[in-house]
A and B are shown apart, each in its own frame.
Chain A
């Protein structure tokens, strides 16, 4: 295994040798084309052929990634820097790829069952989803300024189209417009930031930039402005406060399965990119503390959490409520990234561990909650108001119990997975001595209970008719399976999470 040069713990490979490590993304792109062909070959409305192609390629990519994780790297090497330092192949990237692929698979299944899309041609939808998946994988692994921008834009542009996919729905197109405009401005700001970084160091690779910055004193103000602008781009993706304004309207307007997808996968990718930037760009000891990174991140986190929770309390529309709830969870995740290890001055290992762990747990419980919303849209009514959920609990026991598990896990109650995730985040915050942030965090958890419990109150506590029991709701078997598939890990990971902890530790350990 020869490489061009050794960049930190990464071995830089030339273009051709890198292809071998780039298989998952290639499969996805192939899948994209296949899906379009599949769709062209049938004109039956509602045909699911393209869906199966999409699923096939996603599973193949997943298999490839897992195989890649197994491949033994030469000792001493943290990872490989492919295509001369553009993209990186390391346990962290692989972890996120697995996360994105699983999320996309689940969303495709959700789309199969949902009534949101009516009987229009679905081919493009599945194809675009594959492109987004590929884009997400790139976001997680790019360490080159250009790749950062390209992967972000790939995901964003496709998402704009997906949000506005249902052309007839006025709210969808309105959401699409808002998403486009807000997204473009943010990414524009990001590029401007990247240009400054490039200007300061003349390098495009994050690690090289980091090394150059450490050497050149007096660049702090410029770096600060640059990082703010980059933060604009990433902040928009993870919907952190002041960049969250698009989030509620887009989540409400977009078709529910896509809202679910947006609330999980791109947000995780945003965190992957943020982690990637902080690790590589500010890898050197003390560089984070120089720009007072913990305070900045902590303020962002506190703002995002509090705003998300406080407005969510006021919501009566379930999708908007889950939108603000996802903003709040972005706040909790930011807590992890605010933790800087006092000794080494770099991002604290426990913080990153907490973020990764929480993202996995968040994937299951959030998708679960959206799955219940979708199932209810099937059975009850298009109405998305909480009051329309009145008395559902007793009528659909599996649905009610699943929703209870997801919502209480989102609140962070043991013995569910949400608690363990929050536990790790709080442990990191306390270890990093950001006590005030920890207190803000727990108060937010308490506030969050109020609006999650409101949904359950509507489902269980409020009785629609005092007379007899309303007719029980029969769920479609695939919905039940899907709910169990999502609920099981939420509970299991709350009780026995050693394997997941091991996986996350392996994907984080090599950095520290």
Chain B
């Protein structure tokens, strides 16, 4: 079992899916509990990985390498390093919690949970794959379930949002396909093995690197999303069911940045350094543009979606700096944003289940009616606002301190972003929770046990990492140092 821990983590949900498909259609509870169990195993395994991961080792661990298609030397090559471990844990945790968040799905329950487990396999695979072909297959495997999950169980404009999401991401991934093939053909014995792509980077000419970097960047930027390619995110988020927007924001957004750190940075160092400033500029635009758009939103979920765009901007800025603090800050921000936004979306789900609308102006004075709920919302809001003592601050501070020596003016502009973020968050907090309670919501029940079960673990993580971030930072610092050093080879 421990020999192939990554394969088990990745493919156990698939087994769960098969079991669920075999189940009778009229036993929803049985299906839900099996799905929860199927996603619990990867969580346990990921905790095991967290414990047994060698912090001192910058290279790859838990490597599994089996030839898949010998003729084109495509291998089933799985392995993780400091960069992927936090993501694996985040995926496992959020998928497990989202099982419980989707407890009140009542339409085509079997289809929903089967697709959800397939989605989890796809995500886990992306973070563990080290063969570019395998990485691409897992990357695309995620698209199918997402399309149906948004399309069938979504909100009123679900079809439009689903197809828009699919078209955007597919455009990005076909560009990635071309770059993958271009890289594949450049090497003498054609290979997809990323470790060889890293080491033999000398094979590529300068213009080749620039072109492939841009193609890959567009593919990843659509996923992040970076400024001009972001318009699918608000639609997808608003229409997706709660659990799916949690996964969409919590995990899927991180794949863009993970892809760049795993593929573009080590393989195309000349292009990385060349485009670093551009990336930083895009990061800052993301921060400010996301915050400004969020401030003008009426729908709570759309507001959280735009805030995700703003928060991912920090990752871009940190990543572009290529300094240890910047890189670690960016990856920590990915993890923190994952937990914080997951909380936010779960909380939106809670209020939506009760009031059946997400219009910020429509609420008022909820603090008196739902005190516990307000408490958790305050923790989540202030974490995303970057209040010290909560995890958001640590990653933002690291990003700023890492990016300042490299891009002075950009970082100063970016720091202004924290005021805008504070602005729209506190304004929303005030409009929804403070002030007098309007009579319509006299009878709103406070948060129930199941919802608490999904939220409390995340809240604990947010607070603990705010005070003592070393457990996660310790994981990633050597690998990120190695990637930063590789990205700056000439």
Which A residues contact B (CB, under 8 angstroms)? Answer: 394, 404, 408, 411, 413-415, 419, 423, 426-427, 430-431, 438-439, 442-443, 445-446, 449-450, 453, 457, 460-462, 496-498, 501-502, 505
List, sorted by A's number, 18 A–B pairs whose CB atoms are closer than 8 Å: A404-B144, A411-B170, A413-B170, A414-B141, A423-B177, A426-B181, A430-B181, A430-B185, A431-B185, A438-B178, A439-B178, A442-B175, A446-B167, A446-B174, A460-B152, A461-B148, A502-B71, A505-B71
- Residue in chain A with minimal CB distance to B70: A498
Starting from the known contacts A449-B170, A501-B69, 11 additional A-B residue pairs (CB-CB under 8 Å) come to A411-B170, A413-B143, A419-B140, A426-B177, A426-B178, A430-B182, A449-B167, A453-B166, A457-B162, A461-B151, A498-B71
Q: Does B401 contact A (CB under 8 A)?
A: no
- Chain B positions within 8 Å of A460 at CB level: 148, 151-152
A404 and B152 CA atoms in complex are apart in Å by 14
Query: Majority SS of interface residues in chain B?
Result: helix
Query: Which of A408, A415, A461 is in CB contact (< 8 Å) with B162?
Result: A461
- Residue in chain A with minimal CB distance to B141: A415
- Residue in chain B with minimal CB distance to A448: B170
Q: Does B136 contact A (CB under 8 A)?
A: yes
Chain B nearest CB from A417 CB (Å) reads 12
The 10 closest A-B pairs by CB, nearest first: A442-B174, A414-B137, A461-B151, A414-B140, A446-B171, A461-B159, A427-B181, A498-B69, A430-B181, A501-B71
Q: Does B147 contact A (CB under 8 A)?
A: yes
On whether the beta carbons of A394 and B108 are closer than 8 Å, the reply is yes
Q: Does B427 contact A (CB under 8 A)?
A: no
- Chain B positions within 8 Å of A438 at CB level: 178
On whether the beta carbons of B163 and A453 are closer than 8 Å, the reply is yes
Q: Which of B144-175 contact A (CB under 8 A)?
A: 144, 147-148, 151-152, 158-159, 162-163, 166-167, 170-171, 174-175
- Chain A positions within 8 Å of B140 at CB level: 413-415, 419
On whether the beta carbons of B175 and A453 are closer than 8 Å, the reply is no
On whether the beta carbons of A462 and B178 are closer than 8 Å, the reply is no
A408 and B184 CA atoms in complex are apart in Å by 25
Q: Which of B108-138 contact A (CB under 8 A)?
A: 108, 111, 136-137
- Residue in chain B with minimal CB distance to A404: B144
On whether the beta carbons of A457 and B141 are closer than 8 Å, the reply is no
A391 and B283 CA atoms in complex are apart in Å by 43
In this complex, the member of B72, B170, B171, B182 whose beta carbon has the largest number of chain A beta carbons within 10 angstroms is: B170
On whether the beta carbons of B167 and A427 are closer than 8 Å, the reply is no
A502 and B181 CA atoms in complex are apart in Å by 20
On whether the beta carbons of B69 and A427 are closer than 8 Å, the reply is no
A442 and B175 CA atoms in complex are apart in Å by 7
- Chain A positions within 8 Å of B163 at CB level: 450, 453, 457
In this complex, the member of A415, A443, A446, A496 whose beta carbon has the largest number of chain B beta carbons within 10 angstroms is: A446
On whether the beta carbons of A450 and B167 are closer than 8 Å, the reply is yes
On whether the beta carbons of B178 and A427 are closer than 8 Å, the reply is no
On whether the beta carbons of A442 and B152 are closer than 8 Å, the reply is no
Q: Given A408-B144, A449-B170, answer yes or no on A461-B152 (Cβ-Cβ < 8 Å).
A: yes
Query: Majority SS of interface residues in chain A?
Result: helix
A414 and B170 CA atoms in complex are apart in Å by 11
Query: Which of B71, B111, B137, B167 is in CB contact (< 8 Å) with A415?
Result: B137
A372 and B69 CA atoms in complex are apart in Å by 31
A442 and B172 CA atoms in complex are apart in Å by 10
On whether the beta carbons of B151 and A413 are closer than 8 Å, the reply is no
- Chain B positions within 8 Å of A413 at CB level: 140, 143-144, 170
Chain A nearest CB from B151 CB (Å) reads 4
Interface bracket on B? 20 to 34
- Chain A positions within 8 Å of B170 at CB level: 411, 413, 445-446, 449
Q: Given A415-B137, A457-B159, answer yes or no on A442-B177 (Cβ-Cβ < 8 Å).
A: yes
- Residue in chain B with minimal CB distance to A413: B140
A450 and B164 CA atoms in complex are apart in Å by 9
- Residue in chain B with minimal CB distance to A400: B111
- Chain B positions within 8 Å of A443 at CB level: 171, 174
* Interface mask (B457-490 → A, CB under 8 Å = 1, otherwise 0): 0000000000000000000000000000000000
Chain A nearest CB from B474 CB (Å) reads 35
- Chain A positions within 8 Å of B72 at CB level: 501
A501 and B69 CA atoms in complex are apart in Å by 9
A442 and B140 CA atoms in complex are apart in Å by 14
A394 and B147 CA atoms in complex are apart in Å by 16
A456 and B359 CA atoms in complex are apart in Å by 32
Chain A nearest CB from B90 CB (Å) reads 24
- Chain B positions within 8 Å of A411 at CB level: 170
A413 and B177 CA atoms in complex are apart in Å by 11
Q: Which of B405-447 contact A (CB under 8 A)?
A: none
Chain B nearest CB from A343 CB (Å) reads 14
Chain A nearest CB from B264 CB (Å) reads 19
Chain A nearest CB from B448 CB (Å) reads 27
A443 and B167 CA atoms in complex are apart in Å by 11
On whether the beta carbons of B178 and A442 are closer than 8 Å, the reply is yes
Q: Which of B87-110 contact A (CB under 8 A)?
A: 108
- Chain A positions within 8 Å of B144 at CB level: 404, 408, 413
Chain B nearest CB from A484 CB (Å) reads 14
Query: Which of B69, B158, B159 is in CB contact (< 8 Å) with A497?
Result: B69
- Chain A positions within 8 Å of B171 at CB level: 443, 446
On whether the beta carbons of B151 and A457 are closer than 8 Å, the reply is yes
- Residue in chain B with minimal CB distance to A412: B174
Chain A nearest CB from B247 CB (Å) reads 19
On whether the beta carbons of B136 and A414 are closer than 8 Å, the reply is yes
Chain A nearest CB from B9 CB (Å) reads 18
On whether the beta carbons of A445 and B143 are closer than 8 Å, the reply is no
- Residue in chain B with minimal CB distance to A394: B108
- Chain B positions within 8 Å of A498 at CB level: 69-71
On whether the beta carbons of A427 and B71 are closer than 8 Å, the reply is no
On whether the beta carbons of B178 and A430 are closer than 8 Å, the reply is yes
A275 and B159 CA atoms in complex are apart in Å by 43
A340 and B141 CA atoms in complex are apart in Å by 33
- Chain B positions within 8 Å of A497 at CB level: 69
- Residue in chain A with minimal CB distance to B67: A498
- Chain B positions within 8 Å of A423 at CB level: 177, 181
- Residue in chain A with minimal CB distance to B179: A430
A438 and B175 CA atoms in complex are apart in Å by 10
A490 and B68 CA atoms in complex are apart in Å by 18
